[in-house]
Amino acid sequence: MTLILLIVAAVATLALTAGYAVSRALPPASKADLAAQLEPIDIAAFRNLIDPAEDEYLRRHLSAGQFRVTQRARLKARAAYVRVARKNAVVLIRMGQTALAASEAGANDARANNDIREAALRLVNDAALLQQNAGFALVRIYADMAWPNRSTATVGILDRYQRVSDSAMLLGRLRNPGVAVRVTAG
Amino acid sequence: MPAATMFQPHSLLWHYLWAAPSILLLLLAVFIYRRSLQREFPIFLTFAIVQGVAGLALYGMSVAYWHFKPPLISGVFWWRANLVHLLIEVVLKFALIGEILSQVLKPFPALSKLGKLMIRVVGPALVLTATLVVALSRPSEFAPIVANSHSLDLADYVIECGLLLCIFVFAAYFHLAWGRLALGIALGLGVAGSVQLGTWALWSNLPVTVHQRTLLDFVNMGIYQISVLIWLYYALTTPKATLMDKLGEKDDHYEDRGSGGHDSRGSDSSGPDSIDEDERQHDLVVWNRELERLLKR
């Protein structure tokens, strides 16, 4: 059994390593192709879906059974929005990477290259953060789907997190006022 | 010369596969230094020098043992030297994997925290797994010092492959672009590590004959030679560090300290492309804020 697991691990490492090298050798998608893959999302509708006041209103005005059904439907809609956001983030990362590669190849003059590089790095970082947040948000939404009536026992922890985040943002601003800190929600 | 004779210990091929990678590694160290790549990969330079020198020293000791009557050194001395080399190699390899990860995450500060967290979680789990794998392998018929070397080799490759797998999966999930040399180093480590994990797994779990052991040795030496050639190829095809790179790095440092470096975040780049980029950037910030709000609820 140990032997089989070790051989599987060895083959997986070799396949992934080779696959990565091959994928790097393939030509990147064009900017137009990538832009066509972006799906516009209605942020106002999403904001409404995650509004705790809406949840509370539904909880008060619906029976427990009706609330569970409605809440599951709302959670499904939330998950759909987040999945699209995550997909868009992946596309934006690839767009940023393409721009980075172009700036490193020296496609424009030095100043323009520098500007493109800065903008691309910012885009890739924000998109990567979005992808990471979307992943965590999906886990949270699936957990909520299993138990739509769950209590808000995590609020205390989240409040603490909010305080820590505020402190981190304050410290970040004091140390480097020019750089936007996105630790906490606005 | 018949192939069967070539795949014997102390054949010409055996001498070549043992000595050549060490010489190539020293050559690699020279190329890294001449192309100023050691600024970004200091551990890789150290690794190349230490592995090259240690490999040649072990080869020399082996020759001193097998080709002189009476032998100039004892077998136990060679195995002790090999064990010390293995310990140094393990430390250097893990430092090298850390260097690869930090190079991959360097342009993406938003992900560095998550990447470090992943290593903190996966690292100890892999050490435990490696211990378990060694404990479950067949009892060795060799002297304790030889058996210890084999166990260390097996544990080393379990952890190495596990860490590399994690980094590859992490980078693939977030579509991170690798620097050319970082990819080359990971590729070399991954190819050699995976094949050697397979051969050590066979060696430690099956009753292999002397001839089969010799063949597995040849596979290990051959794949090591290939990985050194991969490193050489990537080191030679990575653009040389230029003076502008060095000046660019200094600018980054100034920005980090907030002590006078220019910050082009507010630069007025014009044109439809930059407007598109700005809109997408704004969308990302809004989306991140909404998702963080959702996570904190």
ipTM of the complex: 0.70
Most A-contacting residue of B219, B294, B295 (CB-CB within 10 A), to test interface:
B294
Interface of B with A in 256-285 (CB under 8 A): 256, 258, 263-265, 267, 269, 274, 277, 280-281, 283-285
Q: Cα–Cα distance between A106 and B37 in angstroms, integer?
A: 20
* pLDDT at position A165 over 60: no
Residue B240 CB burial class (10 angstroms; 0-12, 13-18, ≥19): exposed
* pLDDT at position A30 over 80: no
Q: Say which of A2, A122, A129 has its CB closest to residue B288.
A: A129
Show the CA angle centred on residue B215, arms to residues B210 and B218, nearest 5°. 130
B286 touches chain A (CB under 8 A): yes
* pLDDT at position B213 over 50: yes
Q: Under a CB-based contact definition with an 8 Å cutoff, are residues B290 and A46 in contact?
A: yes
Cα–chain center distance at B17: 20
Q: Cα–Cα distance between B280 and A99 in angstroms, integer?
A: 14
Residue B235's pLDDT band, with cuts at 50, 70 and 90, is: very high
Please name the residue that has the structure tokens 């424009």: A108
* pLDDT at position B50 over 90: yes
Burial call A141-165: b when 16+ CB within 10 Å, e when fewer: beebeeebeeeeeeeeeeeeeeeeb
**Pairwise pLDDT comparison (B238 vs A159), residue with the higher score:** B238
Mean pLDDT of chain A: 73
Q: Cα–Cα distance between B24 and A74 in angstroms, integer?
A: 62
Most B-contacting residue of A126, A145, A181 (CB-CB within 10 A), to test interface:
A126
Integer-rounded Cα Rg, in Å, for chain A is 22
Cα–chain center distance at A175: 26
Over residues B29-50, mean pLDDT = 94
Q: Cα–Cα distance between B6 and B74 in angstroms, integer?
A: 26
Interface of A with B in 98-137 (CB under 8 A): 100-101, 112, 114-116, 118-119, 121-134, 136-137
> Residue ranges per domain, chain A?
27-150, 152-186
Over residues B142-166, mean pLDDT = 91
* pLDDT at position A103 over 80: no
In 10 A of CB B64, how many CB atoms? Answer: 14
Q: Which chain A positions have a beta carbon within 8 Å of B290's beta carbon?
A: 43, 46-47, 50, 185
Q: What SS3 state is found at A180?
A: coil
Most B-contacting residue of A8, A90, A113, A129 (CB-CB within 10 A), to test interface:
A129
Q: What is the pLDDT of residue B111?
A: 85
Kindly state the percentage of chain A with pLDDT values over 90. Answer: 1
Q: Say which of B109, B177, B296 has its CB closest to residue A125.
A: B109
Over residues B222-229, mean pLDDT = 95
Please name the residue that has the structure tokens 């690794």: B47
Interface of A with B in 70-89 (CB under 8 A): 78, 82, 85, 89
Contacts of A43 (CB under 8 A, 6+ apart): B283, B286, B287, B290
* pLDDT at position B262 over 60: no
Cα–chain center distance at B172: 18
Q: Under a CB-based contact definition with an 8 Å cutoff, are residues B263 and A178 in contact?
A: yes
Q: Cα–Cα distance between B296 and B292 in angstroms, integer?
A: 6
Q: What is the pLDDT of residue A185?
A: 35
Q: What is the pLDDT of residue B80?
A: 93
Question: Could you tell me the two tokens for B172?
Answer: 């693939």
Q: Cα–Cα distance between B65 and B55 in angstroms, integer?
A: 15
- Which of A127-141, B42-56, B234-248, B253-267 has the largest mean confidence? B42-56
Q: Say which of A10, A126, A131 has its CB closest to residue B195.
A: A10
Residue B30's pLDDT band, with cuts at 50, 70 and 90, is: very high
Q: Cα–Cα distance between B194 and B158 in angstroms, integer?
A: 9
Residue B297's pLDDT band, with cuts at 50, 70 and 90, is: low
Range in A100-109, B17-26, B240-249, B255-264 with the lowest mean pLDDT: B255-264
- Sign of the dihedral through C-alpha A22, A25, A31, A33: negative
* pLDDT at position B216 over 60: yes
Q: Cα–Cα distance between B202 and B196 in angstroms, integer?
A: 10
- Distance between start and end Cα atoms, chain A: 52
Rounded to a whole number of angstroms, the distance from the CA of B285 to the nearest CA of chain A is 7
- Extended beta strands in chain B, E state: none
Instruction: Tell me the CA distances in angstroms from A94 to A67, A124, B29, B42, B291, one per residue in order.
Output: 40, 8, 34, 29, 21
Residue B81's pLDDT band, with cuts at 50, 70 and 90, is: very high
Range in A49-53, B168-172, B180-184, B206-210 with the lowest mean pLDDT: A49-53
Q: What is the pLDDT of residue A86?
A: 86
Q: Cα–Cα distance between B223 and B102 in angstroms, integer?
A: 26
Instruction: Tell me the CA distances in angstroms from B60 to B51, B70, B72, B228, B257, one per residue in order.
Output: 14, 16, 11, 20, 50
Interface of B with A in 42-81 (CB under 8 A): none
A151 touches chain B (CB under 8 A): no
Q: Cα–Cα distance between B290 and B269 in angstroms, integer?
A: 28
Please indicate whether, in this complex, the C-beta atoms of B258 and A177 are within 8 angstroms of each other: yes
Q: What is the pLDDT of residue B46?
A: 96
**Pairwise pLDDT comparison (A7 vs B275), residue with the higher score:** A7
Over residues A72-83, mean pLDDT = 88
Rounded to a whole number of angstroms, the distance from the CA of B201 to the nearest CA of chain A is 6
Question: Could you tell me the two tokens for B83?
Answer: 């064990």
Over residues B273-290, the pLDDT tens digits come to: 555 656 666 677 777 777
Over residues A86-114, mean pLDDT = 77
Mean pLDDT of chain B: 83
Q: Cα–Cα distance between B169 and B161 in angstroms, integer?
A: 12
Q: Say which of A16, A46, A114 has its CB closest to residue B168.
A: A16
Biggest alpha carbon–alpha carbon distance for chain B: 80
**Pairwise pLDDT comparison (B245 vs B259), residue with the higher score:** B245
Burial call B113-147: b when 16+ CB within 10 Å, e when fewer: ebbeebbeebbeebeebbeebbeebeeeeeeeebe
pTM: 0.74
* pLDDT at position B28 over 70: yes
Q: What SS3 state is found at A11?
A: helix
